[in-house]
Amino acid sequence: MKNTPHVILTDIKKIYKGAGSSDVAAVNGVSLEIPHGQFLSIMGPSGSGKSTLLHIIGGLTTPTEGSVAIDGTLLNGMSDRKLTRFRRKNIGVVFQAFNLISTLTAEENIMLPILAGYQEIDATKLQRGLDELLERLQLTNRRRHYPDALSGGEQQRVAIARALLLDFASDNHGSLLLADEPTGNLDSANGEIICKLLRQLCDERHHTMVVVTHEPAVAAWTDRIVTLKDGAILSDHPNTKPGT
């Protein structure tokens, strides 16, 4: 495992223009280092800036001030094209809304980054990675099903598989996975399955994971819990018994 942090945030601020002359600081001076292979949860009340911070880490939102470095690569100043290519190669994102295409099967939804021509992958490695993902996520027998024939938990697992396909197809252990309220649309039983899956992927493949959640039961699976309030870090502490 690499010694340098996977993610380094330095004095991140995100300011939105409010009504009239007032500004709103969604993120206000956050500095954070996330080591390779760590499972981190970001908690906080609604409006605390946790989703905005996650989107900044993933290069989906540009900070007003401060810098973002992923595995030694500075995202600041990248052109949109370079940032998009970097993100597609190095970062997987899972949202609360599954964002599956209803006219595509589970397998086709997982393959979407490849079908869209985002990146060329050796066909043999691609098939091997796809099969491994389907097996690991217990979706092998559901690969030909369309989203409306899948349960909520299965749809979320398809979304996770889509985010990780390039990683599995290229044997690139140690990628970055970001998840925004990944259990928010699931019942407690399916939520626990997703949390256990993420914990296993982190432990076995050394993925760095950052999950935004308001649920203590989800944060309990992570190695470290950062709590935000009014866009700033209120607390940052390790979880001594993740997954228990």
Answer yes or no: is 159 within a domain.
yes
Answer yes or no: is 185 within a domain.
yes
Answer yes or no: is 12 within a domain.
no
Element (H, E) at 220: none
Q: What is the pLDDT of residue 120?
A: 62
CB 53 within 8 A of CB 42: yes
How many folded domains does the chain comprise? Answer: 1
pLDDT in tens, the chain (244 residues): 466 789 999 999 999 987 766 888 999 999 999 999 999 999 999 999 999 999 999 999 999 999 999 999 999 989 998 998 888 888 988 888 888 999 999 999 998 877 665 556 778 888 888 998 899 888 999 999 999 999 998 998 999 988 888 778 776 656 899 999 988 888 888 888 889 989 988 898 888 999 999 999 999 999 999 999 999 999 999 998 887 6
Q: What is the pLDDT of residue 118?
A: 52
Answer yes or no: is 124 within a domain.
yes
Answer yes or no: is 163 within a domain.
yes
Q: Which domain holds residue 119?
A: 37-49+80-238
Answer yes or no: is 67 within a domain.
no
Q: What is the pLDDT of residue 2?
A: 61
Answer yes or no: is 104 within a domain.
yes
Sheet of 65-70, strands arranged across: 23-34, 7-17, 65-70, 73-74
CB 78 within 8 A of CB 72: no
Answer yes or no: is 60 within a domain.
no
CATH value at residue 193: 3.40.50.300
